[in-house]
Amino acid sequence: MRLEQLQAFLAITDTGSFQGAARKCNVTQSTISRQIQALEADLGLELFHRTGQAKLTLAGERLLPRARKICQEWQTATNEIADLVAGKQPELCIAVIHSLCAYYLPPVLQQFCHDYPNVQLRVTSLGSDRALKVLKDGLVDMAIVMNNRFLTAGKEMVVEVLYDEAIEVLIAANHPLAQYERIPWSELVRYPQVVFKDGYGMQRLVQDRFERLQATLQAVLEVNTLDAFRGVVRQGELIALLPNSALVEARKDPTLAVRPLVSNGSADNSNLTRRVVMVTTQDRLQIPPILHFWQLVRDNVPPQVPLEKSAC
How, if at all, do strands 256-259 and 48-49 pair? unpaired
The pLDDT of residue 310 is: 36
The pLDDT of residue 70 is: 93
The pLDDT of residue 87 is: 67
Distance CA 47, CA 49 (A): 7
150 or 172: which carries more pLDDT confidence?
172
62 or 265: which carries more pLDDT confidence?
62
- Give the list of residues 6+ apart from residue 22 with CB closer than 8 angstroms, or none: 28, 29, 31, 32
pTM for this one?
0.73
Most confident listed range (50-59, 72-81, 216-225): 216-225
The pLDDT of residue 124 is: 92
pLDDT tens by residue, 232-241: 999 988 999 9
Burial of 211 by CB count in 10 Å (0-12 exposed, 13-18 middle, 19+ buried)?
Answer: exposed
The pLDDT of residue 308 is: 42
158 Cα distance to chain centroid: 11
Closest among 102, 126, 82, 84 to 290, alpha carbons compared: 84
55 or 198: which carries more pLDDT confidence?
55
pLDDT tens by residue, 300-310: 887 544 444 43
Domains of the chain as residue ranges with CATH: 3-85 (1.10.10.10), 91-162+275-300 (3.40.190.10), 165-273 (3.40.190.290)
The pLDDT of residue 204 is: 87
- Give the list of residues 6+ apart from residue 27 with CB closer than 8 angstroms, or none: none
For the chain, the average pLDDT equals: 87
Using 50, 70 and 90 to split pLDDT, how confident is the model at 102?
A: confident
- Give the list of residues 6+ apart from residue 294 with CB closer than 8 angstroms, or none: 142, 160, 278, 280, 285
Distance CA 129, CA 134 (A): 9
Amino acid at 283: D
Residues 228-254, mean pLDDT to the nearest whole number: 93
Whether the per-residue pLDDT at 265 is higher than 70: the answer is no
Beta bridge partners of 279: 143, 159
pLDDT tens by residue, 66-90: 999 999 999 888 877 877 777 677 8
Reduce the DSSP state of residue 240 to 3 states and report it.
strand
Whether the per-residue pLDDT at 51 is higher than 80: the answer is no
Residues 156 and 296: beta-carbon distance below 8 Å: no
92 Cα distance to chain centroid: 9
Distance CA 254, CA 113 (A): 36
Whether the per-residue pLDDT at 31 is higher than 50: the answer is yes
Whether the per-residue pLDDT at 153 is higher than 70: the answer is yes
